[in-house]
C-alpha cells in the first residue's frame, strides 16, 4: 500500500486550507480503532474530515460520511467534548519538511487557538494528539508509556514534544545542479536508492515516478547516467520543488497507485481529497474483504465437514435399521422350527417361508431356540425404535447442510473485492452467521443492519430491456423474494442447487420474450454452485407461489407451479450475454 508522503500531505493540507478554513466543528465520530471523522461546516458546505493513524494508511482527507451506528470509542468522545462548537482556524505543519500537522481550534476565526490536534503521519508511528493552548496533552489516539519509549513518551498531562528533528539534508530550490549531482552521486548506486539516501522528505513512489518521468529506469546506477540524463532529472527535481513551494499539484491515478505530481498519471483525479479517500478506502476494504472471506470460508468448511460426518453416521444407522424386518423374519423362522434346534448350535439353516431358499441364522450356543428367537425379536424392536429416532435427526442435519451450502455458494459468488458493495455483502453474511449462532464475536457491532442493501443487488438488463435483480447473500435473497418482488415479476432459482434468488422485473401487461427468460435463466445458473457446468436446470414461477417455511433459516424458500428452463452459465462467463 502506498504511504502518504510529504508531497501528498502538503497537497492535501493546501486544499483543506483553501476550502475548509475557517469551519465549525459539529461532530466527531470514530469509525474504527485507527480513524476519526470530524464534521466540519463552512458558509458554503459541510463535510467529514477523515484523520487516520493507521500504520499502513495514515492520512488526512475529506472522506465519506460515517455509518449510522453507535460510536463506542472514548477518544472521539473526548475530542467532541473539547472541540464541539469551536472553529477550525489553522492547518499548519509544525516545521518545514515535517509530516506533523497542527490543526488549530478557537472560539472564533482570528482568535488564538484554544486547542491543538497534532496529526503525525509517520507510518507505524502515526498518532493523533489533542493538547490545550499550553501544549499539555489532553488525550491521544495511542498513548506511549515511558517503558515503551524513553525518548518520546506520550501521556495525558505531559507536555507535547515534537518528534525528533530530521537529520538528513532537505531539498532546496536554490541548490545548484552541480551541488545536487555531487551529493546524489557521492556513493555509486541505483539512482532511486541514492536520491532516497541523500535527502529527507522523499518517498519511494515519488522518486520512482520522478525518475521515470525523466526517461530513466529507477535501477540505473549513478555512474552510468549521461550529462543529459542528469539534466533531465534535475529539471524534474526543480518541477517538484516549485510545485511544493507554489502548492500547485496535479493529482492523478496511476496503474499501481496515485500521484499528486501528475507523473505517470493515467487518469486525472478531481482533487487530492477524492484521490486519498478513494485509494485508501479501497485498499483497506480489500484487506478486510480478503481476511473476512477467508475466515468465513474456513468456518463454513469446518462446520460442514462435521455436519456431513454426522449425516453419514445417521445414514449408516438407518441402513442398519433397514435390517429390522430381517431379524423378525429370522425369529419367526426359528419359532416355527423349534424341533430342528439342537443344544450347542452356533448356527442353523432353515428354508424361507415363501421362497424355500435356505437362510442361515446365527445362534448363541448357551441359549435355547426360544431364547435366541426372543433376542432376534428384541433386535427387531431396537432397530425400529432407532429408525424413529434417527430419521428426524438426519432430516434436521440435512436441512442445516442445505442452508450452509446456500451460504457457501453466496460467498463463492463474491470472489474478489471490486466495490464497497462487495464488502457490505460479505459483512451481511457474517452478520447472518452470527445471528444464526454459527459465529461468535464478543466485540461484534452490527454495522449493516440499519443500512439499506436494496441498492446492493446485482443488476442486469435483458435483451428487451427488463431489469434483473440478483441477491448476493441470504439476507438479500429474502428481501428480494418477500419484499421487493411484485405481482407481475418472475422468480428464478437453480433447481435443487444452492444459489441466488433472481427476479425478473415486469411491468403490468409486459410479456417477456423467450430470449429474456433464457437470459435470466443463464444468470440464475451463473449465480449458483453449478457455475462451472455447461447446463443447469433453472425453475421459475410467480413470486406469489414462493413461500418461506415456518421457522426456516434465511434464504430458504419453497415454491410450486414452477416451470423449468436450462441455463447456460458459460455464456455469462464468456461474456456472450452481457
Same domain assignment for residues 192 and 89: no
Compute the average pLDDT of residues 231-239: 96
Could you list the residue range(s) of the whole structural domain that residue 327 is in? 306-441
Q: Are strands 490-494 and 502-504 parallel, antiparallel or unpaired?
A: antiparallel
Confidence of residue 100 (pLDDT cuts 50, 70, 90): very high
Q: Are strands 536-541 and 467-470 parallel, antiparallel or unpaired?
A: unpaired
Cβ count near 371 (within 10 Å): 12
**Sheet order of strands, 502-504 included:** 458-461, 467-470, 502-504, 490-494, 536-541, 563-567
Same domain assignment for residues 436 and 477: no
How much is the pLDDT for 441?
67
**Of the candidate ranges 383-387, 397-401, 519-523, 566-570, the one whose mean pLDDT is the lowest:** 383-387
Cβ count near 425 (within 10 Å): 25
Among the listed residues 1, 55, 6, 8, the one whose alpha carbon sits nearest the alpha carbon of residue 32? 55
DSSP, collapsed to helix, strand or coil, labels residue 395 as helix
Same domain assignment for residues 128 and 193: no
Compute the average pLDDT of residues 511-516: 94
Same domain assignment for residues 132 and 228: no
How much is the pLDDT for 442?
54
Over the chain, what is the mean pLDDT?
A: 90
Question: Is the peptide bond prior to 331 cis by the omega test (within 30 degrees of 0)?
Answer: no
Asked if the model's pLDDT at residue 445 lies above 50, the reply is no
Same domain assignment for residues 247 and 129: no
Same domain assignment for residues 86 and 23: yes
- Is there a contact between 469 and 520 (Cβ–Cβ < 8 Å)? no
Q: Where are the beta strands (DSSP E) in 487-568?
A: 490-494, 502-504, 536-541, 546-547, 558-559, 563-567
| Percentage above 90 pLDDT, the chain | 72
Q: How far apart are CA 495 and CA 506, in angstroms?
A: 22
Compute the average pLDDT of residues 179-186: 94
Asked if the model's pLDDT at residue 41 lies above 90, the reply is yes
Asked if the model's pLDDT at residue 75 lies above 50, the reply is yes
Q: How far apart are CA 421 and CA 431, in angstroms?
A: 15
Beta-carbon contacts of residue 402 (< 8 Å; ≥ 6 apart) = 498, 556
Cβ count near 324 (within 10 Å): 18
How much is the pLDDT for 573?
62
Asked if the model's pLDDT at residue 449 lies above 90, the reply is no
Same domain assignment for residues 244 and 361: no
Confidence of residue 450 (pLDDT cuts 50, 70, 90): very low
Terminal CA-CA length for the chain: 33
Compute the average pLDDT of residues 519-542: 94
How much is the pLDDT for 516?
95
Q: How far apart are CA 142 and CA 127, in angstroms?
A: 6
Q: Which residues pair with 261 in a beta bridge?
A: 250
- Is there a contact between 52 and 35 (Cβ–Cβ < 8 Å)? yes
Confidence of residue 382 (pLDDT cuts 50, 70, 90): confident
Compute the average pLDDT of residues 108-121: 95
DSSP, collapsed to helix, strand or coil, labels residue 398 as helix
Q: Where are the beta strands (DSSP E) in 202-346?
A: 252-254, 257-259, 267-268
User: Is 83 inside a domain boundary?
Assistant: yes
User: Is 101 inside a domain boundary?
Assistant: yes
How much is the pLDDT for 167?
81
H, E, C per residue of 143-198: CECCCCCCCCCECCCCECCCCCCCCCCCCCCCCCHHHHHHHHCCCCCEHHHHHHHH
Strand (E) or helix (H) holding 272: helix 272-321
User: Is 96 inside a domain boundary?
Assistant: yes
Compute the average pLDDT of residues 354-362: 89
The 10s digit of each residue's pLDDT in 119-178 is 999 999 999 999 999 999 999 999 988 888 777 889 999 999 999 888 889 999 999 999
How much is the pLDDT for 189?
94
* CA angle, residues 225, 227, 231, in degrees to nearest 5: 100
Compute the average pLDDT of residues 482-495: 94
Confidence of residue 24 (pLDDT cuts 50, 70, 90): very high
Compute the average pLDDT of residues 462-469: 94
Kindly provide the b/e burial profile for residues 496-532, where b requires at least 16 CB atoms within 10 angstroms of the residue's own CB.
ebbbbbbbbbbeeeeebeeebbbbbbbbbbbbbbbbe
Same domain assignment for residues 366 and 435: yes
| Final residue of a structural domain among 393, 411, 441 | 441
Confidence of residue 447 (pLDDT cuts 50, 70, 90): very low
The 10s digit of each residue's pLDDT in 285-307 is 999 999 999 999 999 999 999 99
Kindly provide the b/e burial profile for residues 160-171, where b requires at least 16 CB atoms within 10 angstroms of the residue's own CB.
beebeeeeeeeb
Same domain assignment for residues 328 and 245: no
Asked if the model's pLDDT at residue 52 lies above 90, the reply is yes
Enter the DSSP assignment of 506.
-
The 10s digit of each residue's pLDDT in 211-223 is 999 999 999 999 9
Same domain assignment for residues 13 and 132: yes
User: Is 292 inside a domain boundary?
Assistant: no
User: Is 378 inside a domain boundary?
Assistant: yes
| Percentage above 70 pLDDT, the chain | 96
How much is the pLDDT for 162?
92
Confidence of residue 231 (pLDDT cuts 50, 70, 90): very high
The 10s digit of each residue's pLDDT in 527-536 is 999 998 999 9
User: Is 58 inside a domain boundary?
Assistant: yes
Can you give the CATH number for the domain in which 201 is found?
1.10.8
Asked if the model's pLDDT at residue 199 lies above 80, the reply is yes
- Is there a contact between 390 and 318 (Cβ–Cβ < 8 Å)? yes
User: Total domain count for the chain?
Assistant: 4
Q: What are phi and psi of 60, to 5 degrees?
A: -135, 125
- The more confidently predicted of residues 572 and 401 is 401
The 10s digit of each residue's pLDDT in 242-267 is 999 999 999 999 988 999 999 887 89
Same domain assignment for residues 16 and 135: yes
Q: Are strands 100-106 and 467-470 parallel, antiparallel or unpaired?
A: unpaired
Q: How far apart are CA 204 and CA 190, in angstroms?
A: 13
Beta-carbon contacts of residue 452 (< 8 Å; ≥ 6 apart) = none
Compute the average pLDDT of residues 432-443: 80
Same domain assignment for residues 464 and 436: no
User: Is 164 inside a domain boundary?
Assistant: no
| Final residue of a structural domain among 417, 441, 465 | 441
The 10s digit of each residue's pLDDT in 324-340 is 778 788 888 889 888 88
| Final residue of a structural domain among 441, 475, 503 | 441
How much is the pLDDT for 520?
96
User: Is 283 inside a domain boundary?
Assistant: no
Amino acid at each position: 500500500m502506498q504511504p502518504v508522503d510529504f508531497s501528498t500531505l502538503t497537497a492535501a493540507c493546501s486544499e483543506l486550507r483553501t476550502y475548509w478554513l475557517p469551519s465549525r466543528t459539529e461532530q466527531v465520530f470514530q469509525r474504527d480503532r485507527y480513524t476519526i471523522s470530524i464534521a466540519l461546516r463552512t458558509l458554503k458546505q459541510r463535510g467529514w474530515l477523515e484523520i487516520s493513524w493507521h500504520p499502513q494508511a495514515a492520512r488526512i482527507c475529506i472522506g465519506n460520511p460515517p455509518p449510522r451506528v453507535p460510536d463506542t470509542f472514548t477518544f472521539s468522545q473526548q475530542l467532541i467534548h473539547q472541540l464541539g462548537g469551536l472553529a477550525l482556524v489553522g492547518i499548519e505543519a509544525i516545521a518545514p519538511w515535517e509530516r506533523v500537522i497542527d490543526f488549530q481550534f478557537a472560539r472564533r476565526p482570528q482568535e488564538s487557538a484554544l486547542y491543538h490536534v497534532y496529526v503525525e503521519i509517520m507510518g507505524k508511528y502515526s498518532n493523533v494528539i489533542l493538547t490545550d493552548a499550553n501544549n499539555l496533552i489532553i488525550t491521544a489516539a495511542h498513548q506511549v508509556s515511558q517503558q515503551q519509549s524513553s525518548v518520546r513518551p506520550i501521556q495525558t498531562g505531559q507536555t507535547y514534544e515534537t518528534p525528533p528533528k530530521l537529520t538528513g539534508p532537505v531539498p532546496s530550490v536554490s541548490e545548484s545542479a552541480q551541488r545536487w549531482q555531487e551529493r546524489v552521486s557521492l556513493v555509486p548506486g541505483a539512482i532511486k536508492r541514492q536520491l532516497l539516501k541523500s535527502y529527507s522528505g522523499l518517498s519511494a513512489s515519488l522518486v520512482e515516478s520522478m525518475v521515470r518521468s525523466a526517461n530513466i529506469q529507477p535501477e540505473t546506477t549513478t555512474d552510468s547516467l549521461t550529462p543529459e540524463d542528469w539534466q533531465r532529472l534535475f529539471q524534474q527535481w526543480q518541477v517538484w520543488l516549485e510545485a511544493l513551494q507554489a502548492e500547485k499539484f496535479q493529482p492523478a491515478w496511476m496503474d499501481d497507485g496515485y500521484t499528486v505530481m501528475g507523473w505517470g498519471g493515467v487518469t486525472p483525479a478531481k482533487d487530492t481529497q477524492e484521490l486519498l479517500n478513494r485509494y485508501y478506502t479501497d485498499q483497506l476494504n480489500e484487506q478486510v474483504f480478503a481476511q473476512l472471506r477467508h475466515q468465513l470460508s474456513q468456518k463454513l468448511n469446518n462446520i460442514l465437514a462435521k455436519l456431513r460426518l454426522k449425516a453419514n453416521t445417521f445414514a449408516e444407522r438407518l441402513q442398519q435399521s433397514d435390517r429390522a424386518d430381517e431379524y423378525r423374519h429370522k425369529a419367526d423362522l426359528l419359532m416355527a422350527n423349534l424341533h430342528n434346534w439342537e443344544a450347542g448350535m452356533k448356527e442353523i439353516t432353515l428354508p424361507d417361508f415363501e421362497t424355500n431358499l435356505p437362510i442361515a441364522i446365527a445362534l448363541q450356543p448357551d441359549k435355547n431356540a426360544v431364547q435366541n428367537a426372543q433376542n432376534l425379536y428384541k433386535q427387531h424392536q431396537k432397530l425400529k425404535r432407532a429408525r424413529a429416532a434417527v430419521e428426524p435427526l438426519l432430516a434436521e442435519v440435512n436441512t442445516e447442510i442445505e442452508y450452509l451450502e446456500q451460504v457457501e455458494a453466496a460467498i463463492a459468488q463474491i470472489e474478489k473485492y471490486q466495490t464497497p458493495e462487495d464488502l457490505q455483502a460479505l459483512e451481511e453474511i457474517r452478520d447472518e452467521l452470527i445471528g444464526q449462532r454459527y459465529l461468535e464475536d464478543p466485540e461484534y457491532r452490527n454495522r449493516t443492519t440499519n443500512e439499506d442493501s436494496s441498492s446492493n443487488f446485482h443488476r442486469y438488463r435483458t435483451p428487451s430491456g427488463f431489469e434483473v435483480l440478483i441477491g448476493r447473500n441470504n439476507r438479500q435473497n429474502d428481501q428480494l423474494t418477500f419484499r421487493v418482488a411484485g405481482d407481475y415479476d418472475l422468480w428464478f432459482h437453480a433447481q435443487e442447487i444452492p444459489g441466488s434468488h433472481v427476479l425478473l422485473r415486469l411491468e403490468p401487461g409486459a410479456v417477456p420474450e423467450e430470449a429474456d427468460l433464457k437470459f435470466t435463466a443463464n444468470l440464475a445458473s451463473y449465480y449458483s454452485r453449478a457455475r462451472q457446468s455447461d447446463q443447469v436446470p433453472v425453475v421459475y414461477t410467480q413470486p406469489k407461489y414462493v413461500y418461506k417455511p415456518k421457522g426456516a433459516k434465511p434464504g430458504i424458500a419453497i415454491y410450486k407451479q414452477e416451470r423449468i428452463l436450462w441455463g447456460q452459465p458459460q455464456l455469462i462467463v464468456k461474456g456472450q450475454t452481457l
